[in-house]
Structure 1
Amino acid sequence: MLKWALIFLVISLIAGGLGFTGVSAATGKIAKILFAIFLILFVIFLIMALMGGAAIA
């Protein structure tokens, strides 16, 4: 998911540099949403791993 967020970020930057502001805004928004989903899932899995490690020890 992080890979797709970075791909959309690069597309957004290239489109913005070429003057396609509508495409740049849309892909930038998609990149932000994907990155937010990635962060949320990362935090959830990190907490689950820490809790699971504490239960084993």
Structure 2
Amino acid sequence: MTAPMTTLASLGDLLPLLLSGDFLYYGLVFFVVALVAGVAGMRGVAGISMEIAKILVGIFLILAIISLLL
């Protein structure tokens, strides 16, 4: 009976790796900002926003894959 309890205790160590979806949310926000800026003709802002969106979505995907493997 003590073996399952130690397994549950070790799962508590993995809780910080759970994703809350913030990276994906902010990635989509920056994507929408890039679209609006592109339509408005602000190409510099659109480019920077798109790069930030790509980075955030990439971080989300990497963390999602890591959390699925653990």
Same fold? TM cut 0.5: yes
User: Please, which of 19, 39, 49 is the counterpart of residue 17 of structure 1?
Assistant: 39
Query: Deviation of residue 16 (structure 1)?
Result: 0.2
Q: How does 1:45-56 map to 2 (within 5 A)?
A: 45-48=67-70
Report the secondary structure of 2:47's partner residue. helix
| Stretches of structure 1 lacking an aligned partner (at least 5 in a row) | 49-57
Task: Tell me how many residue pairs correspond in the alignment.
Answer: 48
Matched, 1:3 2:25: yes
Which has more radius of gyration? 2
| Stretches of structure 2 lacking an aligned partner (at least 5 in a row) | 1-22
Q: Percent identity?
A: 46
The structure that is helix-richer by fraction is 1
Moved over 6 A (4+): none
Q: RMSD in angstroms over aligned alpha carbons? A: 0.3
Query: Deviation of residue 25 (structure 1)?
Result: 0.1
**2:59 match:** 37
